[in-house]
Structure 1
Amino acid sequence: MAYHNVQHEYMQIPPVTRAYTTACVLTTLAVQLDIVSPFQLYFNPDLIIKHYQIWRLVTTFLFFGTLGFNFLFNMIFTYRYCRMLEEGSFRGRTADFFFMFLFGGIVMIIIALFINLLFLGQAFTIMLVYIWSRRNPYIRMNFFGLMNFQAPFLPWVLLGFSVLLGNSVMVDLMGIAVGHLYYFLEDVFPNQAGGFQILKTPCLIKYLFDSAPDDPNYNPLPEDRPGGFAWGADVPPQ
């Protein structure tokens, strides 16, 4: 009975969020069990081009380090804000959400060619958080019970916390920059005088992802729900 409940809850997670977070967990477990090595996963342009190790374009976004606090921290934020985006402003637009993933991943790969970053999963998480925060600017947040702030400050708070954990500031700055680029091209520029829609989801992606109707039993995660923890949880207005 418990297995069926877990399976039901798992299948209630929207498809892109479910696929991405599952891939991240399975990749980390594979490394932990010595099935694969991080040296087979990191972003390396020479190995991709000369030895056709194309999978590195994907696995660089899937590995957050070995099991530990840093992995747990990143996975909670990845799952939470990825799901809230997919169930919130991207509800019913799975193809557009996947295209956002594709756009962000491609831009990060291009940037990584010049600044020598090996793993881009944390930057991708910050990108998701940044886009969510800009689309929910009036939600008040609480971080570890230490500070209250408006949602748009969350990526910068996470950057500061990441530095305290000893991570490279360049990773978070990349996530913020790519998130802002997407937000500007998708939400800001088209609404300005003379603006137009620059980012358009290809028809093939729309055909693949938006052909199925919504599940009537779908149970979304509200965008303003704390989620059971205070690592960037929302707080009600005073």
Structure 2
Amino acid sequence: MSELRQFVSQIPPITRILTLTSLSVAGLFSIDIVKPVSLICYWPLVIKKYQFWRLITSFFVCNIHDQPMQSLMDLYMIYSYSRGLEENKFINIADYIFYYVIVTPLILFTSPWTSALSLQSALLSALTYTWSIANRNQQVNFYFITMKAAILPAVSLGFRLLLNGKQDFLQAFVGMLAAYLYNCLETSTLGPLMSLIKKDSNQTTKRVGTLNSLNSNTYIEELYYDGYLPAPSWLRKLITGSPNVAYVRPRNNFSDGTPLSSDRSPTGRTTSSNTSFTSRTTAFRGKGYRLGN
């Protein structure tokens, strides 16, 4: 029991809340204490009956699959991607909360278009996209395919359409669209898609070896940019008690406050049945003294 408590305490706070709440909701469903219909995002009840809690609880409701293991695996992937982002991309907790403040309303507002009742699948797709951009040069395994993380979102969308149908594809698409808009805000650009269009429109010579070019680090770096969107001062003050707090917890890979770049990847190893990724670890980091001082 102490080992379990220690493991849970080592999970970053936002990821811990997201994961444990989703597990608790799934457990309440399984023993029929709570019915999924009371927590899903159903807009008529939100508007007419003022059941505003549905706007939050719908992100913790697992999708109903023919195979229950699929829901459990989706939850594990949410844990993996969320932990990778919280430990290695965002400087402090307030910035990571600000990420959800932007992404989740976008998913909510598009849910009537997709007829989605559970929004956890869209949230997973948003986390997948943001993690893939932050770790774009990292090698990942998706089912039987090895690829760079930069193209994982597109491949994931394709598999959802082929295996689960149009409904699941639309839910994943709106989640990635929300994460894409967040990426536009944090980089002050129109995103990777616009970079790709401009690159193709300015191409004056015939490209040789297209496949190798698409897989090269140079090509990927031209499409994706590093950015960082700090939380507003009022949110930082609300979370940390001061708008000028730089850190509220130690970072895993680096301590200089620099956002995650292409040559830095999350520490550790995370695997799942359909997606896995491995990264470099540092055995000894030293005290950080600069030579010549």
Smaller-chain TM-score bracket: 0.7 to 0.9
Once the two structures are overlaid, the 10-residue window that deviates more, 207-216 or 147-156, is 207-216
Q: Could you say which residue in structure 1 is the equivalent of 2:217? A: none
Distance 1:122-1:136 versus aligned 2 partners, 3 A rule: same
Map residues 68-147 of structure 1 onto 2, 5 A cutoff. Answer: 68-90=68-90, 92-144=91-143, 146-147=144-145
Gaps of 5+ in 2: 192-226, 254-264, 281-293
Q: Could you say which residue in structure 1 is the equivalent of 2:169? A: 169
What secondary structure does 2:275 align onto?
A: strand
Count of residue pairs brought into register by the alignment = 226
2:239 paired with 1:209: yes
Query: What residue identity is the alignment partner of 2:111?
Result: A
Over the aligned positions, Cα root-mean-square deviation in angstroms equals 2.8
Map residues 49-68 of structure 1 onto 2, 5 A cutoff. Answer: 49-65=47-63, 68=68
1:49-92 alpha-carbon deviations (Å, 9 max, x no partner): 211111100111111136822212211110000000000111x4
Map residues 5-24 of structure 1 onto 2, 5 A cutoff. Answer: 5-24=3-22
Distance 1:86-1:142 versus aligned 2 partners, 3 A rule: same
**TM-score (normalised: structure 2):** 0.69
1:205 CA displacement: 2.2
In our comparison, the structure showing a higher alpha carbon Rg is: 2
1:84 & 1:4 partners in 2: Cα distance?
24
Q: Could you say which residue in structure 1 is the equivalent of 2:220? A: none
Once the two structures are overlaid, the 10-residue window that deviates more, 75-84 or 114-123, is 114-123
1:46 & 1:199 partners in 2: Cα distance?
34
Contact 2:187 2:228 (8 Å CA) reproduced: no
**TM-score (normalised: structure 1):** 0.84
Contact 1:28 1:65 (8 Å CA) reproduced: no
1:117-154 alpha-carbon deviations (Å, 9 max, x no partner): 2111111111011011111111111123x111110111
Contact 1:139 1:224 (8 Å CA) reproduced: no
1:157 CA displacement: 2.5
Query: What residue identity is the alignment partner of 2:45?
Result: L
Q: Could you say which residue in structure 1 is the equivalent of 2:45? A: 47
Query: What residue identity is the alignment partner of 1:107?
Result: L
Contact 1:78 1:125 (8 Å CA) reproduced: yes
